[in-house]
Amino acid sequence: MKKLLGLSVLVAAITMGFMFGCEDWEKGQDDWNSSGIPADYFSGVYSAPNGEDAIVLNYNTNDIVKTHSWTDTVGVGDGSKFLFVATMTHRPILPGTVVVTDGTTVFTENDTNPGTLEASGGKSGTIDYKTGDLSLDYVNAAGAPAAGATIQATYEYETYTGSSASTIYSFVVFQEGNHLQFRDNLGNLYTGSIGSVEVLDQTTTVGPWSAIAQFSVAGTYSGRSVQIVGTLEGEVDDDASPHIVYRRMYGTWIEDNATGNVVAVAPAITYYPVAAQ
């Protein structure tokens, strides 16, 4: 027999998360159902079924790429110094966008030899696009920039809005009634609640029983707002004594411009039957 149990605190919309302070956790069981399902039924460590893979699968990111222009100060001339080195603030640097000048001498990229700079009078330089390391050679003191001359490097770089949830390998789930906390293997915290709970194969005498619970939690990952929505499922093997409960998580990872499928399992737990209330 199936029975749909409504909780007094529901998720208003599947995309809305709720944040709870520590004081609220003491109230978690007040809104929990009295079906014989323990208030920590879904608590545990959830990882990939094989214990090795990431639990956010088919991660898709529609990265929004933005190009930015930036100017760094490389150094200041003293009238005799002719060798300069510096590291650019942003990287990787887009090839073909680097220009360095002290107001008189202008270094530009060599079109046929990426990563090299050239200027009049045999002056040269290099730029590592990946590390941002820049070097300039004014040849000798006679060609050095004037005292007080500021050497500036202008270049372009790109930023992306996507992230990589494929690095998440586990969630530690703490359930207190209809309140939930997830903590991933990177230390990020997601909080929220359980909505409705469907109890399966319920008898009139003993519990707990198999159950499916809708959930929604929210938090941040790599500085981005993330929502995880889905179901927590518990399947009871009532032929065993004590009963064995197998727990699974199926959900969707949602962030700006990226989604993924969450699939994870928790170690089986055991419960002795309790009287139905």
Is the pLDDT assigned to residue 269 strictly greater than 80?
yes
Q: What is the pLDDT of residues 160-205, one digit of tens each?
A: 655 567 789 999 999 998 899 999 999 999 999 998 888 776 554 4
Asked if 124 and 211 sit in the same domain, the reply is no
Residue 136: the pLDDT is 98
- Mean pLDDT lowest among 27-41, 147-161, 210-224: 27-41
Burial class (CB in 10 A: 0-12, 13-18, 19+), 210: buried
Euclidean distance between CA atoms 71 and 62, whole angstroms: 29
Asked if 201 and 88 sit in the same domain, the reply is no
Euclidean distance between CA atoms 37 and 210, whole angstroms: 9
Question: What is the distance, to the nearest Å, from the Cα of residue 269 to the centroid of all Cα atoms in its chain?
Answer: 29
Asked if 111 and 97 sit in the same domain, the reply is yes
Is the pLDDT assigned to residue 114 strictly greater than 60?
yes
What stretches of 36-149 adopt beta strand conformation (E)?
44-47, 56-61, 65-76, 83-87, 99-101, 106-109, 116-118, 124-127, 133-137
Quick one: how many helices (H) and strands (E) in the chain?
1, 20
Asked if 169 and 263 sit in the same domain, the reply is yes
Question: If pLDDT is split at 50, 70 and 90, which confidence band does 91 have?
Answer: confident
Question: If pLDDT is split at 50, 70 and 90, which confidence band does 218 have?
Answer: very high
Q: Which amino acid is at 7?
A: L
Question: If pLDDT is split at 50, 70 and 90, which confidence band does 272 have?
Answer: low
Residue 210: the pLDDT is 80
Pairing of strands 133-137, 83-87: antiparallel
Is 151:102 a contact under the CB 8 Å cutoff?
yes
Asked if 139 and 205 sit in the same domain, the reply is no
Question: What is the distance, to the nearest Å, from the Cα of residue 5 to the centroid of all Cα atoms in its chain?
Answer: 33
Euclidean distance between CA atoms 177 and 213, whole angstroms: 11
Residue with tokens 């609220």: 24
Asked if 175 and 264 sit in the same domain, the reply is yes
Q: Please state the pTM of the whole predicted model.
A: 0.54
Q: 114 is in which domain, residue-wise?
A: 65-160
Closest CA to 86 of 156, 136, 120, 124: 136
| Listed residues 144, 160, 176: the one ending a domain | 160
Using left for φ > 0, alpha for ψ between -120 and 50, and beta otherwise, residue 187 falls in left
Asked if 56 and 92 sit in the same domain, the reply is no
Cα→Cα distances 34→144, 196, 274, Å: 83, 13, 12
| Listed residues 145, 160, 175: the one ending a domain | 160
Asked if 247 and 261 sit in the same domain, the reply is yes
Asked if 21 and 148 sit in the same domain, the reply is no
Structurally, the chain folds into a number of domains equal to: 2
| Listed residues 120, 144, 160: the one ending a domain | 160
Question: If pLDDT is split at 50, 70 and 90, which confidence band does 133 have?
Answer: very high
Asked if 83 and 27 sit in the same domain, the reply is no
- Is residue 165 classed as helix, strand or coil in its secondary structure? helix
Residue 164: the pLDDT is 65
Asked if 170 and 269 sit in the same domain, the reply is yes
| Mean pLDDT value across the chain | 81
CA-based end-to-end distance of the chain: 17
Asked if 205 and 153 sit in the same domain, the reply is no
Is the pLDDT assigned to residue 86 strictly greater than 90?
yes
Q: What is the pLDDT of residues 16-57, one digit of tens each?
A: 333 333 333 333 444 555 445 677 889 999 999 888 888 988
- Mean pLDDT lowest among 95-99, 238-242, 255-259: 238-242
Cα→Cα distances 108→26, 33, 157, 173, 255, Å: 65, 71, 17, 55, 40
Burial class (CB in 10 A: 0-12, 13-18, 19+), 51: exposed
